[in-house]
Structure formats: structure tokens, C-alpha cells
Amino acid sequence: MKTTRWMVRLLVSIAVLAGAPQVLALSVDSATMPAVAKAVRVEALKLGAGARKASVLALEAADPAEIEAVRQANSASFHKKLQIGIGRDIVATKGQAGSAALQWTAVAGGLAAQWEVSSSGAHALRVGLAVRGLPAGAELRFAGRKDLGTVYGPFRPGDIAAGETYWSPVLEGDAAIVEVFVPTGTATSEVAMSVARLSHLFASPSDPAIESLAKASQSCEVDLICRSASDAALASTGKSVAKMTFSDGQGGGTYLCTGTLLNTTNSSFTPYFYSANHCMSTQASASTLTTHWFYDRTSCGSGSAGSGYTQLPGGATLLYANAAADSLLLRLNASPPAGAVFSGWDANTLSSGTALTAVHHPAGDFKKVSLATMGGFGSPFDSSTGFIISSWNSTATGVTEGGSSGSGIFTFNSGSGQYQLRGGLYGGPSSCTASGASLRDYYSRFDQVFPAISQYLAPTSGACSYSLSPTSVTVGAGATSGTLTVTTTSGCAWSATSNASWISSSSSGNGSGTVSYSVASNSGAARTGTLTIAGQSFTVSQQAPVTSSTNLVSNPGFETGTAGWSQSATGGYPIIYQDASVARAGSWYAWLGGYDSGTDTLYSSVTIPADATQASLRFWYYVATQESGSTAYDRMTVWIASQATGARLATLTTLSNADRTSGWVQSGSFDVSAFRGQTVWLVFTATTDSSNVTNFFVDDVSITATASGGGGTANYTALWLTPSEAGWGLNVVHQGDILFATLFTYDSSGRDLWLSMSSGTKQPNGSYAGTLYRTTGPAFNAVPFTSIGPSNYTTVGTMTLNFTSATTATLTYSVNGLPVVKNIVKYVYGATGYNCVGTTASRDSSTNYQDLWLTDNEAGWGVNVTHQDNTLFATLFTYDASGRDMWLVMSGGTRQPDGSYLGDLYRTTGPAFNAVPFTPITFPANYTTVGTMRFTFTSGTTGVMSYTVNGAPVTKLIRRFVFSSPVPICS
């Protein structure tokens, strides 16, 4: 449906496609899906009459006011997407909804059990199953009580993604059967699933009266059969058009759109399916797709559907979704039915005045045809030309309605005698009562979309393949920019398109190249968008600005059901429930435990901003138990887990039956600031023993963060490098809006070389740039060490650092005219890495020594310390006896019993700084041990450094270097 935010995003990003590269415009004709030469097997339920009673989950009638509100919204919508169902939660005990309570019956080949699920007054249902695991050989079948002769399935574990809500096909009537089968020898306890939600359809896609049920009806539409009876080409095109039913992937609402099956240049019969981005734009939604084929009247004006009507479940794979062009390309997971036609298409630019034909399912009704004239290119909102204007000939020859969204607009090719697709319906003001300027609609431009999807529809013998590096990035709330690399072969065209107004890119190319993009500042909630390059996705996740009131937990009070949370229970029960009489606030809460010998786990992804100086967890809980006394038998533990490995990083608190309460209680505050800059799992796990049940209720979970004294921006103090190029690196110290960066690398002879950017200032686009210097100075062991001055500095070029996230960046620099570009990452060698933030507070008590250290009155040398766990990586920048720059490294200084850090000191050789490729150095070939190095820190800001180089000893009193504010503090 139309929203202001969606339109603004469209207006900002519509110009993205204008920069698309020129791809040879093609057109192809249609092809018909061949019949499959095999016996047709009629599916049936395993359990027949007289079987053990199904577990019954019955819902009362839905709220009529809620349904009427949807109907009215359908009638008023600018877009032509139609809602025909509302999501309903299963309000039942765990014993009814969970698989642990299924009543199993022996059948041929194994065991079977059923749920019967109903929603009073529904015309049809879709059942949402929370599937946490199915054993090998398991099968699911579905049937509607109104039509038990039509059984959908079997669906096997490979068809169902564990951990997601799996939606059934559309099942006729207000009651449905869900049947589970496991083969002989399989323990039924391996079935871990539950009925989580229903979609209550107040209009069935197969009902001839669907239009009046779903919205205020219109009567000017023309049945396809009325024209196709005398137009064989139009009849063929009609067989490429299918009605779509799908969920939004979250709430359980069911929607209608229309799509078109497309042919490829080699007629591969790959089921590519074209529709509109505003119908669906996520894989979660695409996975719920069911298509309805051959839903046509048997004759012009008759009220019955043809016998060929087929519902095809199984979902689809999302290949391309672009909000700017409102275009969508899917690949159906199941083959279309025999007789379906793969439509032809034409990627040439349309000419004004061309006759247009639309084939669609308005309001989910029988297939209709509408006639129009191409009225030029335009937009419903501004003067851009991103859409085809379809000027309908008259209301008597048809318009479009809700449910028509995504449907194709076609032109007739007199040479081949076939219709070819030219775009898909976005929306517009047309209706059966429209006139004048309102008698028009807007369609996506297939000619502009084609370059991005040509790899699918127009493969060649030397088919283009594309890869991106990296494939995702996380950025802070501030405006920033970045780059990524496209790898392909010469002659393969690509362009970058964005599905979000706050991400922009006009990059395009032919062959391998670089994509540049910009990200606008974010003043609202965390958000995610996608750049699509030749069908490949680059995901941009932008953090919310940090304030003391920011709750970092998605869906903290469970008021949007399971959204943002994953749940599993050994008993097969749901954990998130709706019951206002139990919830602390609102009507939703989480319930862990509540049965014997069980383990329940509830977890959510949380990103702790890199610029947070403090982050803490609190939650409300209620412990009700049958246990007595103070011995802990049943427990709920709250902990932080790594998303990469699942390993426990920290245990925050544990509650037990001994912590029983008489009502809701708010927990204490638990510090999670150690995980700033990381995305982790927040986990609640409850375990119960074999008797005396304990219930752990949780509600209103919050993790709040406080911004740093640095004004809420990330701090990039770190050692940065390219992982595949061992031997060089870049130390960055970040204070205020200034970076001090020291590059250690090698000259053309392979000898060590270091360069410094002593004042890299923040630029308007968020990058940091400054002059790059090479210096000379006294020997490392000179006493006294005379500070260097202007005569010791030589300008060799410039350096720019563009941070694409808290842990990734692009380094660009030049040395005497030789350019270098590197994709770099923050170097992590400890168990949990480290994070730095800006602070104006004292660092005297700090026990992490990450920083640039030096000695007062000895300008010209310094030592960068990287501190992770109990190991220091120290890089010393100084000069040899001739005054030439020299750098030395202690790569593994370990903590000693006296608290100091000690390690071997090395000098290395390697490839020239601009070598391509840069061959990694190896030990011991490129390493020479020159001595040892020791750090003894006397406070968080002072210390003693002692080292030897080929027997020459040096001892220095050192302190942290301060050149701006706030300064970094790391943990």
C-alpha cells in the first residue's frame, strides 16, 4: 500500500537507473511449458477417517471492523496491491500448539499426526508453522476442510528453512488440516515445530466473488476470454500470467498481486517471474509465495472457473528487487504447470502512441484484459521519466484495480505474431469511474531494468558471471561513503541500483571495476538497504545514532509477535505469546520453561554501536514456580553469544526457582559495553528438571547506550591491514576530527619504509585526508635525541581514509606520483578484538594501552601499541645510523608475571609498497631478529619502553600522544 516514506524513497532514487550501461536491447518470443511424460499421482492425507483425533486449535471469528478497515484501504490505495487476509496469533496453551502433544498413529511406512486449525468465518486459511527442525524423511501435507480432496504436499525438510515461519498454501474454508509424517524408525521427538500464526483470508483467491469480498467492487473489467477467444496470441499470453498470494513475511497478512512468467533467449524453461517491488521486496516474503494458474472464465461473462485452475506452492527465490524502478524478478522454486507459457519480452524503448495491452487479475478476480495507448514516460510524483504512462482507451475497455499490481503491459509484435512484455504495473489513479487525466496508470520500464537482469534472461555461451567484494558493510549513523569491487570479464556490463533513498550510487561499467556509493546520515532507527549490481547484492546496514534513550533491542516488548526474535524449545512449544492478562505491558510476552525436563532458548540480534561509551541491559521478569525452598533446580540464564560461532562471550545473570516473585520485577543493570562495535546474540535460556515446574516470564527487554564524549561518531584508532598481504600495515590514532596515521611498508629495493599523515582531517563526505610525509632524523639510540624540524620533512603525496564501517575502510595514497588503493580491515588477533571510543575523561586508570606513545621533547619518532587480550603488537618508527627511516616490530609481546610485556623485536623485508600483487612475507625468510622489547606501564598514560637493536640498548620514558580531543580509550 502507498506510504509517504515509500514515495520519498522513490523520488530520491528514481534517477539511479538513468546511469545504467547500454546493453544490447533484445526481444524474444514466448515458449510453452512442455507436458511432463510421467504418471500423475493424486496426493492424499496419510490419516483417514477413524484415525486418532487431531490436536485442535480453534480461533473465534475475526474482528469485522479490522476486516472492513482493510477493505476500505484496498479501495483507496494508489498502488494496486490487494490485501485479502489478516494475521492472527494462536492463543492456546503450549500443549495444543507444540509438536510434543501431537497424537501419533501408525500408517504405511511410519507414523502420522495432525493439527486441525480453524478461524471462524474465514473463506480460506494459510497456516504459519514455526519449524525448528524436522528429521530426514519427514513430510508435511495440508488440506482445507472445505475441500479435503485437494491435498498439498508432501513438503520435505529440504523445502522448509528451519528457524523461519513456513506458510502453507491457501487452504479452502475456515478449517485446515496440517499433517506430519515421519518414517519408520524415526523418533517423534525429532519433530520440533509448532503452529505459530494463521492468516485469516476474508476472500479466497479461488472464489469468483473475491472482488466484492476484498474491496468495494468495480464492474468495467473485461474478461480475457472475451478477447482471447478470437485472438490466439492473446490467449497464449494469458497463460503466462498468474495470480500471486503471499505474506509480508512477518505479520501473517495475505496479499494479492499479479506476475508474468518470462522466457529466456535460449528457452531454458527456468521459471523467471516478473512483478513489482512494492508487492514484495524481501526473501522472507518471496518464500511465502503461492501462484495461481489458469484462473479464467470458461466463456465470456460466465461465472465459473475452468477445470485447469492450479495452485502452485513452494515459494520463490528473490533475484532482483528495485524500489526506484518498482521492478521484481523471482525464480519460482517449483516448475509451472504443464501448458503455462513463458512470455516473450522486448527490451527496446517504447515509443509514444504504441498500442498497449494489459493482462491482470484485478482484485484477484478472473483474468482480465485492458487496452491502452502509450502516453509517454513520466512519474506520478514529479517530472522524471522512470515509468511508462498507460493511457486507458476508455473504461469500457478496462482499467486496473488492487490485485493488478505487478501485472504485465504488452505490445504486439506483428513480425512474430506474439505479445511481448514491456513492464509491470506500479499503480495509478485509474478506476471504472475515472476520466480525463485520471484514466491512466504507471508501469515499470523493462528497457531500463533489463541491463540488471539480462544475465538471467539473456544468457550467452560465454555467460557473464559477477562477484562482489565485500558483499556487506555496517556503517555508523553519520554520513559516509565507500567502495566495493565488481569482478567479471570484459564485455560484461553492470550498473548499481539502490533500493533505499539514503544509499546512492551512479556507478556502472563494462568488465571488472569499482562501485562507489554514498550513505546519508541517519537520525532515526537502524536501517538496512541494498545495492544491486548485476543481480548481486551488497548490503548496507546503518546504525542508529546513539542517545541515552536508544533501545537497541528490536521488538523489545514482543508487541509485533516473533519479529526480531528466534525461539526453540525441546518440547516443541512456542515461547512468545499474546495474553494481555499476563503481559507486563501491552499484550505480548515471552514464556520460558513451564514444563518438565525442557530447554527453551530465546534470542535476538543486537548491535552495540561503536561510538557507545556505555551500554547496559535491563529486562522485566516474573518467576512462578511449584518448587519450594532456596535450592536452585530450574534456571534461566541471560548471556551474550557470538554470531559467528555461537560461543558464549559473557554470562550476564542467572535466575532460578529460588528467585520466585509475586509479580513483574525489573532486573538490575548489566554492562554490555565490552561488545561495542559488534553485532551479537542476546540470549535467554531456561532449563527445567523433571518435576515441579517453574515458569520464567520475560517482557520489555532493553539495551540502552550512551554516546561518547566524541559527539557520537566512531573512533578508528586501530592497526589496519589487508589480510592477504602480510608484511605491511597502517596504525591509526583518532582524536577529535583528526587522524594521525603511520604506514609501515617497503621501498622498491624491499627495504623497510615508513610514511606518516600527521594531520588527516575529516572531509564533508566523512572521509579523512591529509598530506603524506617521509622524514629523516637522529639514530634510534642517539643521546640526546634531537627533535626533528621542517628540514627533516619531505612531502611525498597525499593519503585518504574512507571508513565503510567500524572495521573496514578503503586506503588511498600516493608516493612520488605512484598511486595505491587498498581495502583494509581492523586487525584482530585476540579472542574478542578491541573497540575504541572517544573520551574527555582521564585515562590514568586504563589497562588497555592501545595508542601512539612517544617521549617529550623528542619529536620525530614514536611507537604504536596495539593491545588485545594479554598481547601487545608494537611498531616502532625511528631512524638508523645514517638518519634514514627504519621501523621495527614486536608482533607478540606477552604479559609477564610482573605485569610488563616482553617479546622479540624484528626487522623485515618485503615487496615494494605499490607491488601488484603484494606477495605476503613469510617467517623466517623475511624476518631478522634484532633484539627484544619490553613495556612496563606505570599508569594508564605513562610507561617505560626498553629495547635492543643488534646489541645497542635503548630506554625511554613514554606517554600517550595527545593532539586533539576527545582522545581514544579502548577495551
Query: What positions carry a catalytic annotation?
Result: 278, 326, 405
Indicate the SS3 state at residue 468.
strand
Q: Please compute Rg for the chain using Cα positions.
A: 33
Residue 108 backbone zone (phi > 0: left; psi -120 to 50: alpha; other: beta): beta
Helix (H) or strand (E) segment spanning residue 95 = helix 94-97
Dist CA 7 CA 380 (whole Å): 10
Query: Residue 386 corresponds to which cell in the numbers above?
Result: 522512470
**Distance between CA atoms of 554 and 606, rounded to whole angstroms?**
8
326 neighbors 448 (Cβ within 8 angstroms): no
Residue 550 CA to residue 553 CA, distance in Å, equals: 9
Comparing C-alpha atoms, which of 717, 720, 710, 755 is closest to residue 739?
A: 717
The secondary structure of 678-700, three-state, reads EEEEEEEEEECCCCCCEEEEEEE
User: Is the Cβ–Cβ distance between 487 and 466 less than 8 Å?
Assistant: yes
Question: Hey, which bits of 804-941 come out as E strands?
Answer: 808-815, 818-826, 836-839, 851-854, 862-868, 871-879, 885-895, 901-908, 927-937
Find cell 478477447 and name the residue. Answer: 227
Integer Cα distance of 581 and 586 in angstroms? 9
CA atoms within a 13 Å half-sphere pointing along the CA-CB vector of 473: 32
For residue 497, the number of C-alpha atoms closer than 13 Å in the C-beta half-sphere is: 30
Q: Name which of 723, 733, 738 is nearest 865 in CA terms.
A: 733
Q: Is 640 helix (H, G, I), strand (E, B) or coil?
A: strand
424: amino acid identity, one letter: G
User: Which is nearest to 385 in space by CA: 435, 324, 427, 440?
Assistant: 324
Inter-residue contact 501 to 9 (CB < 8 Å): yes
Strands (E), 408-466: 408-413, 418-427, 440-444
Q: Are 418 and 30 in contact (CB under 8 A)?
A: yes
Residue 391 burial by Cβ neighbours in a 10 Å radius (0-12, 13-18, 19+): middle
| CA–CA separation, 483 and 620 (whole Å) | 43
Q: To which residue does cell 515446574 refer?
A: 693
Pair 133, 162: CB distance under 8 Å: yes
Residue pair 197/89 in contact by the 8 Å Cβ criterion: yes
Annotate 99-148 with three-state secondary structure: HHHCCCEEECCEEEEEEEEEECCCCEEEEEEEEEECCCCCEEEEEECCEE
Find how far residue 7's CA is from the centre of its chain. Answer: 22
Distance (Å, whole) CA 816 – CA 807: 29
Beta strand pairing status for 678-687 and 599-608?
antiparallel
Grid cell at residue 240: 503466462
Does residue 806 contact residue 610 with C-beta atoms inside 8 Å? Answer: yes
18-52: b (≥16 Cβ within 10 Å) or e:
eebeebeeebbbbbbbeeeeeeeeeeebbbeeebe
